[in-house]
Amino acid sequence: MTTSAEQAWSHPSPTLWRLRQTELALITFVIALVVGLIFGATLGTVASIVSVLVAVLTGALSSWFVRNRFRAWRYQERHEDLIVARGVMVRRLSVVPYGRMQFVEVTAGPMERIFKLSTVKLHTAAAASDARIPGLELEESARLRDRLTELGESKAAGM
């Protein structure tokens, strides 16, 4: 890029990591409860304890994956385009010119609302354009939304 001032990557809010941890803990708890009860009723106490341990261990291991995934997510606003990079196993990097933006979608699921976070997604005419940034603080997502909309209007390039 000749025109754009190189700037540092921005990251989703650290609160996203807490959100993901909470989600994971909840899921692990439910799975552990279910397998514990099923195995306890059918195969006895030992099987029940082992299955609960396995479930908890799997949860702990996935927390490592989730943490890597959280860390890999980053974005950069350049002069002409937005770059979003994500993924650990499959690494993806999308460059979306502001002029191609059709609309910006800001969503917040129930968990996200509890943690006061939201997800910003940039839509273009191509279904494959993959520009989604999760876990943004409400202020940051509002700022990003307004900025993207403004840039999208000023650089609009139709089909």
Partner 1 sequence: VRADLDREGGWQRLHPLSPLTRIGRLVPVVALSFVLAFAHDHGQEGPLYYPIGVTVASVVFGFIHWMVTRWKIEGDTLRIETGLIRRDSKRLPLARIQAVDVVRPLLARMLGVSELRIRLAGSGSADGRLAYLSEATALELRQRLLQKRGPTAPQAVESLAWRGSVAAGAGGGSTVAVDSTIGSGPEHVMASVPTGRLVGSFALSGVTLVVIGIAVGLLVLAIVAPKTAAAVVGFLAVYLFSFISGIWRRLSNEFRFEAVEAPEGVRVRRGLLQTVSETIPYGRIQAVRKIEPLFWRPLGWCRLEVDIAGSGRKNQRGEGSGVARKALLPVGSAQDAWHLVDRLIGATLPIMTPPPHRARKKAPLSYHFLSAGHDNDHAVCVTGRVRKVTTWVPLEKTQSIRKVQGPVQRRLGLATVHVDAAGRTTRAELRDRTEAEADQLIEELSDLARAAREHRARPLAERSSNVGAPIPSGWYPDPSGRHEQRYWREGQWTQQVSDKGHTAVDVL
Question: Where does this chain bind partner 1 (CB under 8 A)?
Answer: 1-2, 80-81, 89-97, 99-100, 124-131, 157, 159
Using only C-alpha atoms, the chain has a radius of gyration, in whole angstroms, of 20
Cα gap 138→145, rounded to integer Å: 10
The answer to whether the CB of 98 falls within 8 A of the CB of 136 is no
Closest CA to 147 of 129, 112, 120: 120
Minimum distance, C-beta of residue 99 to partner 1, in the bound complex (Å):
6
Complex with partner 1: residue 19 or 122, whichever CB lies closer: 122
Minimum distance, C-beta of residue 130 to partner 1, in the bound complex (Å):
6
Minimum distance, C-beta of residue 21 to partner 1, in the bound complex (Å):
25
Complex with partner 1: residue 5 or 89, whichever CB lies closer: 89
Cα gap 93→130, rounded to integer Å: 8
Complex with partner 1: residue 18 or 147, whichever CB lies closer: 147
Minimum distance, C-beta of residue 80 to partner 1, in the bound complex (Å):
6
The answer to whether the CB of 97 falls within 8 A of the CB of 78 is no
Minimum distance, C-beta of residue 124 to partner 1, in the bound complex (Å):
4
Cα gap 43→60, rounded to integer Å: 25
Classified as helix, coil or strand, 111 is helix
Complex with partner 1: residue 41 or 126, whichever CB lies closer: 126
Complex with partner 1: residue 117 or 133, whichever CB lies closer: 133
